[in-house]
Every structure is written in structure tokens, then in C-alpha cells.
Chain A
Amino acid sequence: MYDKGKIIGGLAVFLCLASFPVWYMAASGKADYSPDPVLPVSENLCVESAQYMKEYHMQLMQQWRDQAVRQGDSIYVSSDNRTFDINLTGTCLKCHTNKADFCDRCHNYTGTAPNCWDCHNVPPANAPPQVTK
């Protein structure tokens, strides 16, 4: 085989460059980055269980929207029989006082951009002390 050294060397350089993003992220410690949304401290229960909220909060919010706007019924009864006033600003953001450190952290991480806040108000951030999970 001709130019064995050059070919293998070239391949090695190519592999290094091609895999650069992977090992760079690993080396800089960003590979196991997680969004770490800041949870409320004053409350310990969400509308539904935390796992359910993580997976289905978008569906829940759509259900809220349809129930409140289309059916005119603004009381939500959770699966464990607690009642909530259906309101993004007044209910979700009453507990999750810091939208930027909660909703947005996850959404930035997953590249999701809900347009709800183009219209729904975000109260001026007056966040009480919160802890990271």
C-alpha cells in the first residue's frame, strides 16, 4: 500500500475534527447539563403530580384553555380533588413566581417557544427565595 502513513494520519485528524463537538462538550462539563428549573419553596404540590406535569403540562394547559374560554367553566378539579382557578397568570405563575428560572429554563433547553406570553401577562418578577432541586 502506498502512503500508508499519510492516509492513517489523515484519517486520525479527520476523526478528531469530526468528533470535536462530542469530546469538547464532555471535557467542558456541559454534556451532562440539565436545565434545573427552580421549584417553588412555599408550596410542595403542583396542580397534578410533578411527573404528570413534567410530561403533560402542555396538554393540561390546552385543556384549561378550552375549558375556560370555550366552555366558560374556569374551575379545574385536579385528580386528587383540589380545585384551581383556571388562569395562567394568576395560578401557574402565582406558585411559579419566576418564569425565567422555571418555564424558560426547560424551554430553552428543549428549544420550545410557547407563544402564550405574547398575550398572557407575566407579573413583574418579585420572586421570593427559591431553591434548585
Chain B
Amino acid sequence: MNIDRRSFLKLAALGLLAVAAKPAFDLISRPSAARALEGPFAGKRLAMVVDLNACTAGDGCVDCIAACHSVHNVPDIGNTKEEIKWLWEVDYKRAFPDQENGFVSEPLLDSRVLVLCNHCDNPPCVKVCPTQATWKREDGIVMMDYHRCIGCRYCMAACPYGSRSFNWRDPRPYIDIIQQGYPTRTRGVVEKCNFCEERLSDGLQPACVEACSSGALKFGDLKPGTELYDLISSQFNLRRKAELGTRPQVYYLL
């Protein structure tokens, strides 16, 4: 084939254009990012309220913790270095370190506070997860996909609440009675509270809320008009380390 310089350049330019057209077309025809927001949970924001006045954690009540750890097969390893916890209690001063200078009543300052994953609206753990094993559902639950977790523990470093625990060893020998309703975990994955996602889809309340006899725990959708919304908007409440911008969704009534 004979071809002069001019038509070669023309052809080459045409070819380049054709190559560039495909990605450009893909870019334009890509469904908009907003589509990801649609789905079965659109328009929901699940949250928890802990009424510190009603909670009897300081008197040694662990009903909610026991219920949670039982239904989710959370092992009791027996040492603080390797412990696994979904729901536990800490001193008021440790739960709200930034509130230390406030005027807080004496009994409250000495009280014990229930803590759990805050299912942040702006979860730092999700941002750092390299495999998208943890992500925020449209109803606000910060989920764990144990199938994808590679155990890098970035999320544990990112979480300002220490809500995540790593399985340093096979948890099964440390579980008293393995509940068939929820899988255990295995060595090498990170785990945390899931707002009882598996119970919600069966129409049940979270296990801790169900187990609480003093009515200190309330759970539900947080949109105007709901009981939860009225509670939070009418009473003074705190969120843990809210100044970090994580927008935590566990509200503490004082």
C-alpha cells in the first residue's frame, strides 16, 4: 500500500480519536453517583439513645451486654489485650473525655457509661478500609462484611471510640454456648456491633434494647416525628467525641 505523509497523519489522528472516544463515552454514559443512594433503606437513619439517668450499669447490671454477646457469639477471651467487645461500659470520664470541665452532677461523674459502635454518619473506619469490608448502609448502619475483611486493622486505628476488636485467635473455644442464629468469626478478622442488623430484618429490636429492663435503651429511625427524634430534640444529650466530626449516632441523655 502506498500512502503519503499527509494522509498517514490524517489516518493516525482519526485512529487516536477513535481510541479516545470509548472512555469519553463511558464517562458520559456512567450512571450518576446518586443512584447508589437508592435501595431498600433510602431515607432512614437508625440511631440509639442511652438514658444515663435510667441506666443501672453503675449498679452492676450487665443484662444488655450479656444479651448482645450471647446472640452474636462474642467470645470471652479473658484478657484485656485480646478481648472482643461489641457493647461494654467505661467510666463517664473516659466516655466523654472532652466534658471533664463541664458542670456535671457528682453521681453522673462517677457513673458507668454503656458504649458501643456509634454507627457514625461520617465513619472514619469506612474511609480507611482498603477492601470495602466495612461500609455505611443507607439506613446508617456501619456494616462489617467479614467475608472481605483481611485483618489489616486500619479501621481499628481510625476509630476514635475503640469500638472495633480484632480476633487474635480462633474465638470458638472461648464461646460458652454457640448460638446457631449468628455465625461466629474466625482468627484474623475485625468485628464490632452491627446494631443487630440481622434481628432488624426479622422485625425485632436490637438484643440489648430487648434485654434492658430499665428502659434506658431506645432504638429506631431518627427522622422528625419519631419517638426517638422527640426525645433527642427535647432533652439535653451528649454524643461521644462529636467534635471530631464523625457525627456519631448514639445519643446519651443526661
Contact of A72 among B137, B146, B170, B185 (CB under 8 A): B137
Question: Across the interface, do B145 and A118 meet the contact criterion of CB distance under 8 Å?
Answer: no
Whether A28 sits at the interface, judged by CB under 8 Å, is no
Contact of B147 among A65, A72, A90 (CB under 8 A): A65
Whether A119 sits at the interface, judged by CB under 8 Å, is yes
Contact of A69 among B40, B147, B170, B184 (CB under 8 A): B147
Interface size counted on chain A using CB atoms at 8 A: 16
Q: How far is the CA of A32 from the CA of B117 in the complex (A)?
A: 55
Contact flag A120-B183 (CB < 8 Å), given A65-B147, A69-B143, A74-B201:
yes
Question: Across the interface, do A72 and B41 meet the contact criterion of CB distance under 8 Å?
Answer: yes
Q: How far is the CA of A1 from the CA of B75 in the complex (A)?
A: 77
- Using Cβ atoms and an 8 Å threshold, which residues of chain A touch B181? 89-90
Q: CB-defined interface of A36-48 with B at 8 Å, one 1/0 digit per residue?
A: 0000000000000
In the complex formed, the residue of A with least CB distance to B139 is A72
In the complex formed, the residue of B with least CB distance to A122 is B180
Residues in B162-198 with C-beta less than 8 Å from chain A: 170, 178-181, 183-186, 197
Contact of A119 among B137, B146, B201 (CB under 8 A): B146
Question: Across the interface, do A70 and B145 meet the contact criterion of CB distance under 8 Å?
Answer: yes
Contact of B180 among A71, A118, A123 (CB under 8 A): A123
In the complex formed, the residue of B with least CB distance to A93 is B180
Contact flag A121-B178 (CB < 8 Å), given A72-B137, A74-B201:
yes
Contact of A89 among B39, B137, B180 (CB under 8 A): B180
Question: Across the interface, do A72 and B180 meet the contact criterion of CB distance under 8 Å?
Answer: no
Residues in B130-155 with C-beta less than 8 Å from chain A: 137, 143, 145-147
- A39, chain B: closest CB distance, angstroms: 23
In the complex formed, the residue of A with least CB distance to B170 is A118
Contact flag A121-B180 (CB < 8 Å), given A65-B147, A69-B147, A72-B40:
yes
Question: Across the interface, do B145 and A119 meet the contact criterion of CB distance under 8 Å?
Answer: no
- Using Cβ atoms and an 8 Å threshold, which residues of chain A touch B146? 119
Q: How far is the CA of A88 from the CA of B183 in the complex (A)?
A: 9
- Using Cβ atoms and an 8 Å threshold, which residues of chain A touch B143? 69
- Using Cβ atoms and an 8 Å threshold, which residues of chain A touch B201? 72, 74
In the complex formed, the residue of A with least CB distance to B138 is A72
Contact flag A119-B180 (CB < 8 Å), given A72-B201, A73-B40:
no
- Using Cβ atoms and an 8 Å threshold, which residues of chain A touch B40? 71-73
Residues in A15-70 with C-beta less than 8 Å from chain B: 65, 69-70
Question: Across the interface, do B145 and A89 meet the contact criterion of CB distance under 8 Å?
Answer: no
- Using Cβ atoms and an 8 Å threshold, which residues of chain B touch A73? 40
Q: How far is the CA of A69 from the CA of B145 in the complex (A)?
A: 7
- A62, chain B: closest CB distance, angstroms: 9
- Using Cβ atoms and an 8 Å threshold, which residues of chain B touch A71? 39-40
A65, A120, A121: residue with the most chain B Cβ atoms closer than 10 Å: A121
Contact of A121 among B137, B145, B147, B184 (CB under 8 A): B184
- Residue pairs across A and B with Cβ atoms less than 8 A apart, 28 shown, are A65-B147, A69-B143, A69-B147, A70-B145, A71-B39, A71-B40, A72-B39, A72-B40, A72-B41, A72-B137, A72-B197, A74-B201, A89-B180, A89-B181, A89-B183, A90-B180, A115-B186, A118-B170, A118-B186, A119-B146, A119-B183, A119-B184, A119-B185, A119-B186, A120-B183, A121-B178, A121-B179, A123-B180
